Amino acid sequence: MKKKITLILTALFCGILIACKTGAKSSTNMDNQKETMLNIETSMGDIKIKLYNETPLHRDNFIKLAKEGTYEGTLFHRVIKDFMIQAGDPESKNAPQGKQLGSGDVGYTIPAEIVYPKYFHKRGALSAARMGDQVNPKKESSGCQFYVVTGKVYNDSTLLNMEKQKNEGKLSEIFNSLAQQRMKEVYKMRKEKDEEGLYKLQEELFAQAQEEAAKLPEFQFTPEEIAAYTTVGGTPHLDGEYTVFGEVLEGMDVVDKIQNVKTNRGDRPEEDVKILKVTILD
């Protein structure tokens, strides 16, 4: 009984919430609209990117910041080999060595535009950083920080295991969400030390969660995802959780040079890697 009660308490006190995946709907106008290309000039070389029209809020915000020069002088402040390189923190400009970075912002967030599975975390994907679900259940993006995926190559069996884990995780996610809705009852039972009541409530929530989970389709990677993740690679565990709003067209060799630099314990490069300028291309 104690083990099961612990599950319901964990759901409540860890603040686990389910957030609906949101995404901008594509339209004929978006399909016909010319995609925006930009060049990110860094101290290690140029990276040419394109922005997706299906994520207009992120596209327009990135263009705005580029025009305002917001990114000039900022650093790639978080670099993890075989994962991603992250930049865009305004506080990284002229930041002394040893300063912890990654919490800077521009005073606003951007609503999630998760267009999944069309856009996913393949190698070279341009995505928006964000705060975690516990404080950001709507998965809203940082107004300025972004990352480029490097990732690694996966085999078919690993992807199958990921699919299995995602499907098994649906039940606990639904349970956690239902538990949050019954928080007042749980607090009352805890105060009264009513372990039997907690146990009965948990059994009720498990049954309800199982019923709701059975109605959901099983998760499966698309053929496009499988082709990408088993050849060029990426970070599939991030799919559906962060907004992918563009991709690298040229300069992945530069991205690789950045991901291979020596970093400190905080994943910051020991020698600064700067964004010198972001230019909109015709």
Low pLDDT (below 50) residues in the chain: 1-28
What is the predicted pLDDT for the residue at 170?
83
* The model's pTM: 0.80
What is the predicted pLDDT for the residue at 25?
42
What is the predicted pLDDT for the residue at 169?
84
What is the predicted pLDDT for the residue at 13?
39
What does the alpha-carbon distance between residue 153 and residue 175 come to, in Å, rounded to a whole number?
33
SS3 3: helix
What is the predicted pLDDT for the residue at 218?
87
DSSP codes joined into one string, 41-90: EETTEEEEEEE-TTSHHHHHHHHHHHHHTTTTT-BEEEEETTTEEEE--G
Q: What is the mean pLDDT of the chain?
A: 89
What is the predicted pLDDT for the residue at 11?
44
What is the predicted pLDDT for the residue at 30?
60
Domains annotated for the chain, with CATH where assigned, are: 2-17+166-214 (no CATH), 38-156+220-281 (2.40.100.10)
What is the predicted pLDDT for the residue at 29?
58
